[in-house]
Structure formats: structure tokens, C-alpha cells
Amino acid sequence: MRILVVDDDPIILDLLADTLTEGQGYHLDMHTSAEAGLEALNASKDPFDCILLDIMLPGIDGIQMCQKLRESTRFCSTPILMITSSGEVGLMARAFEAGATDFINKPFSPDELSARVAMAGLLNQSLAKAQHTMSTLSDQIRLRFEEAIDLETDGLSSALAIENELLRNRSECFAMSMFSINIVGLRGIYRSVRAPAFRRVLETAAAAAVTVLEDRHFKLAYVGQGRFVGVILGRGRVDYDDLSARFENRLREIWQTVPTGVPVAPDFAIAAISSQRFWSGMSASDTLRRYLSAGANPQVLSSNEENDLFARLDRKLSETT
């Protein structure tokens, strides 16, 4: 059991080392300040099963360190046992609010210490099993290809949010370009990878698009079937060839084979939904609705065409093996 210990009292550190020994399966990494403990946590490649943290520390105190750890995805559920010589109720309440799991009061007996740490180890194992179960369940959930999946990508909006934004300018005339990004062959990816990998494909494409649009006033949404719709506000003309080239470069830079289950970044098509450049909120909203209800852009392969393409690809692969 790997335990990170942060306490500035050398007597306490010696007592911990004498009680939680290597022979009992404990591996202690001890530090005398929160700053050193945080650095050790961030540098460690292997996870810690438990953290023993003194409340009263020089510099960053134990409560502040506990709060920092709970704000991190990596340590949000790691058991944290606070070590304290104070019986102040308010101090303990603050520690629990910061995310502490349990308390160990000084002076503590070896038996009490061993029991509390053992309980923390069991808690950590239970959390790990629960996370594994949730991961397995999410892996089995099948997303619908047509679904406008809610992607966890900063800068991404929704079609409804874009429409509401346009309707705020119901009677005013404003300059805007409306466009689409279509991931070609996504149906084949959808049927060949599991739900988490399919989601990662979409999130990677979304991240690439947000990056190349970040210097513009834009809104972008995923609307299902491998389609994104977006608007760029402003009078300037959009060079879609340049936009496509930059999107392609960025997508290749950030593409990861293992999490997506796809060896190379897919092809795509970026095109204007309309050549109109000056809009009212109502006309823009109507155009967006018509595009969404009309289905995929003609440049994108139909379901039958994609199925035929992948069938021919399967036959070609079987001939070469």
C-alpha cells in the first residue's frame, strides 16, 4: 500500500515509519511541507492508495492542500486522513468541507493508526472497483449514430444555443457566415469501435475545429451523423480552403490511435451552408433549421455508399491476407 505522508514533526514521521512498515506491505513517501508533498504527487507515475496529512503545516496548510487535491481529477477520490492535535470542532468541519476522509488525533496509538489506514485502503479498493464497473458499463452503452451527442469539449455549443443566439438579433441585420463540417466515413468508424472510442473521435474533431476557429467570433455545435454546424460572426469572407487546411493539420497533430481506435484521422468536408452573408435573426434561424432537417450534406457519403465502401474494403483486405 503506497502512502504519501506530509507532517513537519520528525517525531510523528518516526512513529509512522515504525508502525507502518515495509514488512507489513506499507510503502511510505514522507515530506515535511505541503509544497513538497504536492510536487511528489504530481511527479509520481504510480498512484497513492492513501494520503496522511497534518492539518498544521508551514506555508500551505493541510486543509488548503486537501482542497487542492480534491480539485484535481487524479486525486479527487484518494482517501485523505488528516492528522491533528486540535480538538477544535470548527477546524475539523473545515477539513471535512475541503474533502477529508477521516481524522487521526495526536497522540495516536499504533493500533488505531493501523486500523484507520487499513480502512482507508479498503475504501480505496472499493472506489477502484466501482470506477472499473462504471467504466465497463459506459463501454457497453451504445450511442446512436444520429444522436447529437453532448461532447465534453471547451468552446463547443449546441444547435439550440446557436439558434437562440441568432434569434436575439431577430429584427437586426448582421454579417455572418454559416458552414458545416462533415466527417466522411464516420458510419464505418461508428460500427467498428465502442462507444467511448466513438465519442473520443468526435471530441478530437471538435477540439481541432475549436482551435482553428479560436481567433474568430464563432459558435459551433455537433448535430449528429458526423456533422458539425457553425457560424462565424463578422463581415470578413471565410476562406474555406484555408480553414480546411488548418483543420486537417490540427486534426493530424492531436489524433491519437489508441483512445479513438482509428489508426489515422478521418477525412472531412468543410463547406458553406449558404452563400448569404447578411442576415436577420429569423432568416438565419430558418436556414439553420432547414439544414438540420434536410439531413447530411450532399458531399458526404450516404449510408448505402458507406456500407458499400467498407464492404469493398473488407474484400480487398481479405484478398491480401
Residue by residue, DSSP assigns 204-261 as: HHHHHHHHHHTTSEEEEEEEETTEEEEEEESSSPP-HHHHHHHHHHHHHHH--HHHHT
**CA-to-CA dists, residue 269 to 164, 183, 198, 212, angstroms:** 26, 7, 19, 15
Q: What is the pLDDT of residue 173?
A: 85
Q: What is the pLDDT of residue 203?
A: 95
d(CA 285, CA 275): 15
CB-based contact 5:30 (threshold 8 Å): yes
CB-based contact 184:271 (threshold 8 Å): no
Look up residue 271 and give its DSSP letter: E
Q: What is the pLDDT of residue 308?
A: 55
Radius of gyration of the chain from its Cα atoms, rounded to whole angstroms? 27
Look up residue 115 and give its DSSP letter: H
Digit-by-digit pLDDT tens for the chain (321 residues) are: 899 999 999 998 998 998 888 888 889 999 999 999 999 998 988 888 889 999 989 899 999 999 999 888 788 878 888 888 876 767 888 888 888 888 888 877 788 788 888 777 666 565 555 454 445 445 445 678 888 988 989 999 999 989 888 888 766 788 999 999 999 888 888 888 888 889 999 999 999 999 999 999 999 999 999 999 999 999 889 999 999 999 999 999 999 998 898 999 999 999 999 999 899 888 999 999 999 988 644 344 445 554 554 455 455 445 544
Beta bridge partners of 3: 28, 50
Residues of 11-44 as b/e, b for ≥16 C-beta within 10 angstroms? ebbebbeebbeeeeebebebbbbbeebbeebeee
d(CA 200, CA 206): 10
- By CB atoms closer than 10 A (0-12, 13-18, 19+), residue 321 is exposed
- By CB atoms closer than 10 A (0-12, 13-18, 19+), residue 202 is buried
d(CA 243, CA 249): 10
Phi, psi of 31 (to 5 degrees): -140, 155
Q: What is the pLDDT of residue 137?
A: 47
- By CB atoms closer than 10 A (0-12, 13-18, 19+), residue 231 is buried
